[in-house]
């Protein structure tokens, strides 16, 4: 298993080797490494989940890198399965089109395109679209469904192949993949090549300010190597001959940053948002390791509260099951010390996960139909950012006397 993992020694954005540890979470297996019935008795290797800050550019990052082939080639996350994300991407495409107004027929490329949900909204506006995603099955399915998707990692070589066969792109997007990839510099170089002179690269990443303020520690897992802030990103893009000219805070994944980037000296005007967010980051002290270490104390407090509530419930004989098996549940279940056997099962609405077992603890993942025949006393909502929707959709469970336990952003029992 050694080849699956290595520890970087240099900052992902500026290449400095001056890296300070700021937080250590419990080691976990890859957050999306669900296992089959046949594998459930085999212990999975866990990898360190330690967060560091670069002393030079202040970028917050993991240094432990898992082999992307292991992480992504059998990826089971499909964005189209979540109605909230479909709506998010529909609005995203509409904003990009109205703001930059690319001419009809222009090429739009999405890096880490998953099932093509975002590109679909561009295709319906008569743009040429191309997806890039290393998950082989998801890429093949997207292509079959009409969104041509190259089953590959994005590299400068691939960028120049796309330019020579299809021309440069008016829009290049990469959502959440910018936190996934190890070699961001080569991705940025490829993007600079792929963009038309007036083209725009748009990306979304989890935003350090939100992660910090709302204690979103469960967004920390190996696929997310980076917790981006505007200050370090601005310097990084400059190094790749690109310019971050506008940023916005958006609600996806509990709080994200959307950025717009052009080639250095491009035609799009700076609107002041970049400086504004850099100022907020400075005021919060997010360029200081001491501030970020306090984040660890807040996580410990949350863990203690959660453990007390769960132990009381278990002591009084209540049965507990989980709801939602997103990647972040792996971090939460490991860091909160949930032992195998504590949860009877985890309900997840994705058929791709049903029938499998959760990473590490190997809790069975099942469909919500189980609530009709094996109703627990308590449903722990692991996909807690969808807590409201889950509670609304499962009103019948509450009528039968069930309660929901929401672990984040504060520990609460409903009703």
DSSP 364: B
Q: Tell me: does residue 382 bind Zn ion (CB under 5 A).
A: no
Spatial CA neighbour of 326 closest among 252, 239, 227, 401: 252
Q: Tell me: does residue 239 bind Zn ion (CB under 5 A).
A: no
Q: Within positions 53 to 72, which residues make up the interface with Zn ion, using CB under 5 A?
A: 54, 56-57, 59
The piece of 4-12, 125-133, 314-322, 406-414 that touches Zn ion (CB under 5 A) is 4-12
Burial 192-220 (b: 16+ CB within 10 A, else e): bbbbbeebbbbbbbbbbbbbbeebbbbbb
Residue among 17 and 393 whose Cβ is closer to Zn ion: 17
List, as one string, the DSSP characters of 14-69: T----EEEEEEEEEES-TT--B-GGGTTSPPP-EEEEEEEETTT--EEE-EEE-HH
Residue among 232 and 259 whose Cβ is closer to Zn ion: 232
Rounded to a whole number of angstroms, the minimum distance from the CB of residue 55 to Zn ion is: 8
Residue among 139 and 278 whose Cβ is closer to Zn ion: 278
Residue among 228 and 303 whose Cβ is closer to Zn ion: 228
Q: Tell me: does residue 24 bind Zn ion (CB under 5 A).
A: no
Q: Which helix (H) or strand (E) holds 303?
A: helix 289-315
The piece of 52-60, 152-160, 259-267, 320-328 that touches Zn ion (CB under 5 A) is 52-60
Rounded to a whole number of angstroms, the minimum distance from the CB of residue 379 to Zn ion is: 42
Q: Tell me: does residue 11 bind Zn ion (CB under 5 A).
A: yes
Rounded to a whole number of angstroms, the minimum distance from the CB of residue 121 to Zn ion is: 35
| Sequence-distant (≥ 6) Cβ neighbours of residue 294 within 8 angstroms | none
Total residues binding Zn ion (CB under 5 A) = 8
Contact (CB, 8 A) for 242 and 262: yes
4, 5, 14, 100: which one contacts Zn ion (CB under 5 A)?
14
DSSP 150: E
Rounded to a whole number of angstroms, the minimum distance from the CB of residue 18 to Zn ion is: 8
Spatial CA neighbour of 243 closest among 201, 183, 193: 201
Q: Tell me: does residue 17 bind Zn ion (CB under 5 A).
A: no
In angstroms, rounded to a whole number, what is the distance separating the alpha carbons of residues 174 and 187?
10
List, as one string, the DSSP characters of 171-239: EEEEESHHHH-S-HHHHHHHHHHHEEEEEEEEEEEEBHHHHHHTT-GGG-STT--EEB-HHHHHHHHHH
Q: Tell me: does residue 240 bind Zn ion (CB under 5 A).
A: no
Rounded to a whole number of angstroms, the minimum distance from the CB of residue 60 to Zn ion is: 10
Q: If DSSP codes are grouped into helix, strand and coil, which group holds residue 338? A: coil
Q: Tell me: does residue 16 bind Zn ion (CB under 5 A).
A: yes
Spatial CA neighbour of 318 closest among 379, 384, 409, 236: 379
Contact (CB, 8 A) for 63 and 77: no
Paired tokens of 170: 């008016």
Residue among 229 and 332 whose Cβ is closer to Zn ion: 229
The piece of 32-40, 47-55, 126-134, 194-202 that touches Zn ion (CB under 5 A) is 47-55
Residue among 15 and 24 whose Cβ is closer to Zn ion: 15
Q: Within positions 68 to 97, which residues make up the interface with Zn ion, using CB under 5 A?
A: none
Residue among 56 and 307 whose Cβ is closer to Zn ion: 56
Contact (CB, 8 A) for 384 and 365: no
In angstroms, rounded to a whole number, what is the distance separating the alpha carbons of residues 168 and 256?
28
Residue among 16 and 24 whose Cβ is closer to Zn ion: 16
Residue among 57 and 111 whose Cβ is closer to Zn ion: 57
Rounded to a whole number of angstroms, the minimum distance from the CB of residue 163 to Zn ion is: 30
Rounded to a whole number of angstroms, the minimum distance from the CB of residue 304 to Zn ion is: 33
Binding site for Zn ion (CB under 5 A): 11, 13-14, 16, 54, 56-57, 59
């Amino acid at each position: 298993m050694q080849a699956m993992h290595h520890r970087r020694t240099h900052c992902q954005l500026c290449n400095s080797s001056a890296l300070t540890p700021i937080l250590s979470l419990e080691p976990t297996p890859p957050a999306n490494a669900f296992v089959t019935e046949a594998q459930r008795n085999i212990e999975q290797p866990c990898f360190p989940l330690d967060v560091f800050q670069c002393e030079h550019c202040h970028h917050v990052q993991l240094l432990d890198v898992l082999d992307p082939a292991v992480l992504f080639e059998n990826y089971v996350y499909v964005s189209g399965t979540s109605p909230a994300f479909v709506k998010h991407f529909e609005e995203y495409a509409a904003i990009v089109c109205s703001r930059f107004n690319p001419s009809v027929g222009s090429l739009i490329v999405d890096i880490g395109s998953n099932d093509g949900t975002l590109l679909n909204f561009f295709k319906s506006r008569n743009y040429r679209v191309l997806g890039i995603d290393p998950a082989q099955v998801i890429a093949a399915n997207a292509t079959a469904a009409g969104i041509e998707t190259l089953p590959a990692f994005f590299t400068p070589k691939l960028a120049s192949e796309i330019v020579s066969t299809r021309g440069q792109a008016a829009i290049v997007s990469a959502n959440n993949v910018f936190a996934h990839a190890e070699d961001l510099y080569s991705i940025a170089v490829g993007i600079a090549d792929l963009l038309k002179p007036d083209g725009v690269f748009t990306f979304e990443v989890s935003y350090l300010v939100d992660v910090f303020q709302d204690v979103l520690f469960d967004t920390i897992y190996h696929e997310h190597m980076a917790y981006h802030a505007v200050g370090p990103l601005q310097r990084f893009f400059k190094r790749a001959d690109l310019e971050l000219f506008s940023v916005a805070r958006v609600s996806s994944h509990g709080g994200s940053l959307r950025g717009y980037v052009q080639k250095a000296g491009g035609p799009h005007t700076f609107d002041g948002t970049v400086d504004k967010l850099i100022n907020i980051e400075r005021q919060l002290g997010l360029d200081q390791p001491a501030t970020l270490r306090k984040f660890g104390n807040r996580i410990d407090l949350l863990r203690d509260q959660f453990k007390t509530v769960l132990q009381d419930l278990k002591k009084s004989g209540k049965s507990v099951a989980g709801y939602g098996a997103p990647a972040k549940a792996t971090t939460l279940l490991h860091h909160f010390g949930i032992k195998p056997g504590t949860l009877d099962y985890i309900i997840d609405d994705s058929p791709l996960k049903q029938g499998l077992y959760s990473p590490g603890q190997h809790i069975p993942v099942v469909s919500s139909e189980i609530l009709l025949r094996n109703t627990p006393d308590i449903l722990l909502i692991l996909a807690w950012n969808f807590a409201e929707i889950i509670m609304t959709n499962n009103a019948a469970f509450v009528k039968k006397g069930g309660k929901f336990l929401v672990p984040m952003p504060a520990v609460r029992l409903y009703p």
